[in-house]
Amino acid sequence: AVFDNSDVASLAVAEEIAELIKSKQAANEPCVLGLATGSSPINVYEELVRMHEEEGLSFKNVITFNLDEYYPMAKDNTQSYWYFMHDHLFNHVDILPENINIPDGELKPEEVHQFCIDYELKIKEAGGLDFQLLGIGRTGHIGFNEPGSHFNSGTRNITLDHITRIDAATAFLGIEHVPRVAITMGIGTIRKAKRIVLLAWGINKASVIKETIEGEITSEVPATYLQTHNNVTFVLDEGASSDL
Ligand code: GLP
């Protein structure tokens, strides 16, 4: 779906999420959301906060699983995805703290493996992801599934691509401060979601969007694996769709 600009597109995505939350509420069921960080979803979260404040949209039945986190990373570090999610969404809505799941950047190295296994189990026990929101990196990564990621990969730690670290350098005030590793849901984890919406804004994303949608399916551009999902929408603005 191509929209005139990212504001109207973000509103449409927020409305879809709100409708899902409400339909699950009506059925007395939890709503399990997979959430993303980065600049792309910020306006979606802003709209959801507005719907909570102005329209009484409740998050009491919402369970969230975030895609990824840098490793190592302290939660109170302003660069952490933990901080980002609380700052943009969780601090402003009525979600129960015990329903928030984010890969833990504060684990000891020997704890990471078990954490990843438990993360997968927790998603399964919650009933699976009803909806997964995604951004996309210039390397074609979704979450932090860098080129080379396997089709069926699960939650695990991964070495960040050099291009990804360059893109994060400004936020970290220098590439030397960008972590080398992250914990991320896998391609397999993402592909099990019942519904996937990928957001991309601006001309900088045009070439990777073209590869993702029109290119051959390859682990060199992990987002191409989304082509095999039966309920995915690429939500784009004019810029991101300009090479299609
Ligand atoms: C990071 C995140 C991704 C995100 C990507 C693009 O690498 N781990 O989940 O999609 O950045 O970020 P942005 O939305 O700021 O372009």
Domain assignment present for 175 = yes
Show Cβ contacts of residue 31 under 8 Å, excluding neighbours closer than 6 positions.
20, 21, 24, 25, 61, 62, 63, 130, 131
**The token pair that represents 30 in the structure block:** 């939890």
Distance CA 95, CA 195 (A): 21
Is the beta carbon of 201 within 6 A of some atom in ligand 1?
no
What residues are annotated to the active site? 146
Residue-range definition of the domain harbouring residue 137 = 6-236
Domain assignment present for 241 = no
Closest residue CA from atom 9 of ligand 1: 143
**The token pair that represents 175 in the structure block:** 């590439």
Q: Please state the φ and ψ torsions of residue 157, each to the nearest 5 degrees.
A: -90, 150
Is the beta carbon of 153 within 6 A of some atom in ligand 1?
no
- The size of the chain, in residues, is 244
Is the beta carbon of 39 within 6 A of some atom in ligand 1?
yes
- Total domains in the chain come to 1
Max Cα distance, the chain (Å): 49
Nearest by Cα to 155 from 69, 221, 81, 223: 69
**The token pair that represents 209 in the structure block:** 């969007």
Domain assignment present for 52 = yes
Nearest by Cα to 185 from 41, 32, 68: 68
Per-residue pLDDT tens listing for the chain (244 residues):
999 999 999 999 999 999 999 999 999 999 999 999 999 999 999 999 999 999 999 999 999 999 999 999 999 999 999 999 999 999 999 999 999 999 999 999 999 999 999 999 999 999 999 999 999 999 999 999 999 999 999 999 999 999 999 999 999 999 999 999 999 999 999 999 999 999 999 999 999 999 999 999 999 999 999 999 999 999 999 999 999 9
CATH of the domain at 28: 3.40.50.1360
Domain assignment present for 32 = yes
Domain assignment present for 1 = no
Domain assignment present for 244 = no
**Shortest-distance atom of ligand 1 to CA 144:** 8
Distance CA 137, CA 209 (A): 10
How far away, in angstroms, is 70 Cα from ligand 1 center?
Answer: 12
Domain assignment present for 39 = yes
Reported ipTM exceeds the 0.90 cut: yes
**The token pair that represents 66 in the structure block:** 């975030």
Is the beta carbon of 212 within 6 A of some atom in ligand 1?
no
Domain assignment present for 83 = yes
